[in-house]
Amino acid sequence: MNTDRSGRITAIIIIGIFLLLSFMSCKKDGPSIAIITVVDSAGRSVQGASVTLWQDTAVNSTNGVQATVRETQISDAAGRAEFSFQLEAFLNIDVIKGQDTGKSFIRLKQHETVYKTVTL
């Protein structure tokens, strides 16, 4: 009788470990988020800057269609503009505030938030 009970306990422990490892290896859900912070040459936040993320050089190898990803946000009081995309990508960043401009790029990672600072 003790061997039957110890067999059940062993089986429960093995199932528990399997379930724990299964849950730990699940992929994250949610969009790929880019948070762009705009600062001036002194490192101060810039409010009201036009921040554009775009990708127009990628071509789908299956159907030959060129990507037309282009989204613009205005930086808030903290100099931040937040973008949300469903897929990971390499995107160009253009920032304009009056006569000042800044350029950079960002690599979005699937289901993660990526931060980038652009200086005007």
H helix count then E strand count, the chain:
1, 7
* pLDDT for residue 63: 75
* pLDDT for residue 87: 84
* pLDDT for residue 12: 79
Residue 111 covered by a domain:
yes
Sort strands 32-39 and 80-85 into parallel, antiparallel or unpaired. antiparallel
2-16, 53-67, 106-120 — most confident range = 106-120
State the Cα torsion 71-75-80-85 to the nearest 10°.
-10
> How many domains are there within the chain?
1
* pTM for the whole structure: 0.69
Chain segment 39-48, per-residue pLDDT in tens: 999 999 999 9
* pLDDT for residue 56: 73
Q: What's the angle, vertex CA 66, arms to CA 64 and CA 71, rounded to 5?
A: 155
Task: Give the separation between CA 104 and CA 98, rounded to whole angstroms.
Answer: 18
Residue 2 covered by a domain:
no
Residue 10 covered by a domain:
no
Amino acid (one-letter) located at 42: A
- Give the CATH number, domain containing residue 63: 2.60.40.1120
Sort strands 32-39 and 113-119 into parallel, antiparallel or unpaired. parallel
Residue 89 covered by a domain:
yes
Domain that includes residue 45, residue range: 32-119
Amino acid (one-letter) located at 7: G
Chain segment 11-35, per-residue pLDDT in tens: 777 776 765 555 555 555 678 999 9
Residue 62 covered by a domain:
yes
Residue 97 covered by a domain:
yes
Q: Is the pLDDT of residue 9 over 70?
A: yes
Chain segment 53-102, per-residue pLDDT in tens: 998 776 766 777 777 789 999 999 999 999 999 888 899 999 999 999 99
Residue 19 covered by a domain:
no
Residue 92 covered by a domain:
yes
With CA atoms as reference, report the closest residue to 34 among 95, 88, 94: 88
